[in-house]
Amino acid sequence: MRFQVESGETILLRIINSALNQELFFGVANHNMTVVAVDAAYTKPFTTNVIKIGPGQTTNVLLTANQPPAQYYMAAHAYNSASAPFDNTTTTAILEYNCTTKRNSSKPIFPQLPGFNDTATATAFTAQLRSPSKVDVPVYIDDNLFITVGLGLISCSNPNSPRCQGPNGTRFAASMNNVSFVFPTSNSLMQAYYQGQPGVFTTDFPPVPPIQFDYTGNVSRGLWQPVKGTKLYKLKFGSKVQVVFQDTSIVSVEDHPMHIHGYQFYVVGSGFGNFNPRTDPAKFNLINPPVRNTIGSNPGGWVAIRFVADNPGIWLVHCHIDAHLTWGLAMAFLVENGVGELQTVQPPPLDLPQC
């Protein structure tokens, strides 16, 4: 694909990572980009020659066609933070100046993208994101959750099954606070909640890991197998919520792009290693943190978010790497109704199909 530009003009690129299972580095040969928005929220502008973007994330950049008229590759390849196989191919398009002549159009110029495992560049890009001005970050927290996110292994009843690709007759799993999420089959979560149908889910998702351990160290094999469940966490309408997503080294550390349906949130802090609740909050940005709906947990680290639970209903929280979602890296918030029609879940449409 070719994108035509006039020399000297500034264009807006809306970049979406629609890959199912891969975070990406993206760049345009010989051109800088000015980041102006992420996940449909404006940012304090900053200039970069590469962006890191996870599945489901969006980034808006301004690009000025200020180079000699020619053809320039726009390219993206994997950012792989796990010790696991990945797709190392590169996807491309061409930025072509309209005044390009045959003499200078023979061979498009390719951008210099970071290495596949360049976590330093990925972290540096994310660290530059800020809101354009002061924002109203929740300061006093009602619900404080500490959630481990990561992989695991579960035993296979049939080791010869193609799903059993883990070591020693196991298959890969994923979990949040050691609960591997099971999607209901008899009814949707939202319909079961609205209709008061029992037995579809429970509201006992643990707000902290059931067992504390060295999350990013050498984890005992006894902690590698999660339990299955359809567990939700209940929030009162208007609650001020903090969630710390802590990556683990079980199977492998990894940057998990965590997404919350129905909400945007403030990313107030991040770091590497185990989150320290006594010292790390002092470094939180409570002035102008970026607003996002999907944010990666640092590989072998953590990320902290805050939001106000002002959208009633059931909202899935999950890793946006598709394979991890199917393995169980999910949970859901049940946000109770507030007062009045505007703070209450709307009834389903009259033509809603029956399951």
pLDDT, residue 163, reads: 75
Residues 6 or more apart whose Cβ sits within 8 Å of residue 24: 17, 52, 53, 54, 76, 77, 78, 79
Please list the pLDDT of the chain residue by residue as tens digits (355 residues): 899 999 999 999 999 999 999 999 999 999 999 999 999 999 999 999 999 999 999 999 999 999 999 999 999 999 999 988 899 999 999 999 998 666 555 689 999 999 999 999 999 999 999 999 999 999 999 999 999 999 999 988 777 777 787 777 788 999 999 999 999 998 999 999 999 999 999 999 999 999 999 999 999 988 999 999 999 999 999 999 999 999 999 999 999 999 999 999 999 999 999 999 999 999 999 999 999 999 999 999 999 999 999 999 999 999 999 999 999 999 999 999 999 999 999 988 889 887 6
Running DSSP on this structure, what letter comes out for residue 231? B
Cα distances from 267 to residues 66, 68, 93, 129, 272, in angstroms, run 34, 39, 32, 9, 15
Secondary structure class of 211 (helix, strand, coil)? coil
Running DSSP on this structure, what letter comes out for residue 109? B
283 φ/ψ angles, rounded to the nearest 5 degrees: -100, 5
Residue in 22, 16, 20, 99 with CA at minimum distance from that of residue 61: 16
Residue 2: its H or E element: strand 2-5
d(CA 146, CA 177): 8
Secondary structure class of 104 (helix, strand, coil)? helix
d(CA 165, CA 174): 14
Residue in 225, 273, 226, 267 with CA at minimum distance from that of residue 248: 273
pLDDT, residue 146, reads: 98
**257-276 CB burial, b ≥16 within 10 A, e <16:** bbbbebbebbbbbbbebbbe
Outline where 210-355 has alpha helix (H): 322-327
pLDDT, residue 355, reads: 64
d(CA 275, CA 125): 21
d(CA 147, CA 18): 26
pLDDT, residue 99, reads: 81
d(CA 127, CA 143): 26
Running DSSP on this structure, what letter comes out for residue 70? S
Strand order, beta sheet including 23-28: 2-5, 90-97, 71-79, 23-28, 51-53
pLDDT, residue 208, reads: 98
